[in-house]
Amino acid sequence: MNFRVVSYYLSIVCFFVAAAMAACCLFAFPWLGHRTSEIYSELSFESDGVRGLLFSVAVSVFAGILLRHWAKGVRGEGLYRKEAMATVGLSWVIATLLGGLPYMIAGVKYAPAIRLESPVYAEVYEHPYHWRQNWASHDLNLSESQFKVLQAVIDDPSLPSRGISLGEIADNTGLDSQLVRSTVSQLQALEGIGSKLRTIEAPGASNPQSTLVTVEWISMGFGDAMFESQSGFSTTGATVISKLEDPKFVPHCILFWRSATHFLGGLGIIVLFVVLLGGSSAGKALMRAEMPGPTKEGNTPRMQHAAWRFGGLYIVLNTALTILLLFDMNLFDALCHAFGTMATGGFSTYDSSVGYFNSAYVDYIITLFMILAGTNFALLYLLVILKAGSGSRFVRWKQQVIQVFKDYELRVYLSIIVVVTLLVMVYGLSYGDWDLPGDEAAGIGLFDKITRSLRYGLFQVVAIITTTGFGTHDFNQWNEFGRALLLGLMFIGGCAGSTGGGMKVIRHILFVKILRHEVELLYHPNVIRPLKLGNETFDDKDMRRGILAYFGFIAALFMLTWLIIMAVEPDTTWHQDDVSNKLVDNSSAVIATLNNIGPGLGIVGATSNYGAYSPVSKLVFTWLMMLGRLEIFSILILFSPAFWLSRR
Please give the Cα distance from 583 to 356 (Å, whole number).
Answer: 31
Please give the Cα distance from 177 to 208 (Å, whole number).
Answer: 10
With contact defined as beta carbons under 8 Å apart, do 499 and 373 qualify?
A: yes
| Amino acid present at 234 | S
SS3 533: strand
What's residue 513's pLDDT?
Answer: 86
Please give the Cα distance from 206 to 436 (Å, whole number).
Answer: 43
> CB-based contacts of 349: which residues, under 8 Å, 6+ apart?
35, 244, 245, 255, 259, 332, 333, 336, 337
What's residue 295's pLDDT?
Answer: 43
Question: What stretch of H or E contains 181?
Answer: helix 177-188
What's residue 203's pLDDT?
Answer: 66
Of the candidates 380, 398, 397, 379, the one whose C-alpha atom is nearest the C-alpha of residue 388 is 397
With contact defined as beta carbons under 8 Å apart, do 60 and 105 qualify?
A: no
SS3 573: helix
| Ordered domains of the chain (ranges, CATH) | 3-110+222-347 (no CATH), 114-215 (1.10.10.10), 475-645 (no CATH)
Q: Report the half-sphere exposure of 602 (CA within 13 A, side-chain side).
A: 22
Please give the Cα distance from 518 to 124 (Å, whole number).
Answer: 56
With contact defined as beta carbons under 8 Å apart, do 233 and 97 qualify?
A: no
Please give the Cα distance from 408 to 415 (Å, whole number).
Answer: 11
User: Hey, how many other C-beta atoms are within 10 angstroms of the C-beta on 446?
Assistant: 8
| Amino acid present at 336 | C
pTM of the prediction? 0.91
Continuous H helices in 351-407: 360-373, 377-384, 393-405
SS3 386: coil
With contact defined as beta carbons under 8 Å apart, do 253 and 53 qualify?
A: yes
With contact defined as beta carbons under 8 Å apart, do 585 and 549 qualify?
A: no
DSSP code for 193? T
CA angle, 431 as apex, 428 and 434 as ends, to 5°? 50
Q: In which order are the strands placed within the sheet that holds 121-125?
A: 114-118, 121-125, 135-139
Beta bridge partners of 165: 212
Please give the Cα distance from 521 to 542 (Å, whole number).
Answer: 19
> CB-based contacts of 162: which residues, under 8 Å, 6+ apart?
212, 214, 248
With contact defined as beta carbons under 8 Å apart, do 106 and 52 qualify?
A: yes
Please give the Cα distance from 601 to 586 (Å, whole number).
Answer: 9
Residues of the chain with pLDDT under 50: 270, 276-283, 285-286, 288-301
SS3 137: strand
SS3 299: coil
With contact defined as beta carbons under 8 Å apart, do 603 and 234 qualify?
A: no
User: Hey, how many other C-beta atoms are within 10 angstroms of the C-beta on 514?
Assistant: 17
What's residue 250's pLDDT?
Answer: 95
What's residue 298's pLDDT?
Answer: 41
With contact defined as beta carbons under 8 Å apart, do 568 and 589 qualify?
A: no
CA–CA distance from 409 to each of 295, 301, 551 (Å)?
11, 21, 18
Please give the Cα distance from 606 to 472 (Å, whole number).
Answer: 9
With contact defined as beta carbons under 8 Å apart, do 186 and 172 qualify?
A: no
Of the candidates 214, 196, 218, 216, the one whose C-alpha atom is nearest the C-alpha of residue 110 is 218
Beta bridge partners of 111: 218
Of the candidates 157, 167, 487, the one whose C-alpha atom is nearest the C-alpha of residue 351 is 157
Beta bridge partners of 164: 213
Of the candidates 398, 406, 376, the one whose C-alpha atom is nearest the C-alpha of residue 299 is 376
CA angle, 627 as apex, 621 and 630 as ends, to 5°? 140
Query: How far is the first Cα of the chain from the last one, in angstroms, to the nearest whole number?
Result: 7
Q: Please state whether 627 falls in left (phi above 0), alpha (psi between -120 and 50) or beta.
A: alpha
With contact defined as beta carbons under 8 Å apart, do 557 and 594 qualify?
A: yes
Rounded (to 5) percent helix, strand, coil in the chain: 60, 5, 35
Please give the Cα distance from 233 to 628 (Å, whole number).
Answer: 12
> CB-based contacts of 70: which residues, under 8 Å, 6+ apart?
3, 4, 7
CA angle, 278 as apex, 642 and 67 as ends, to 5°? 55
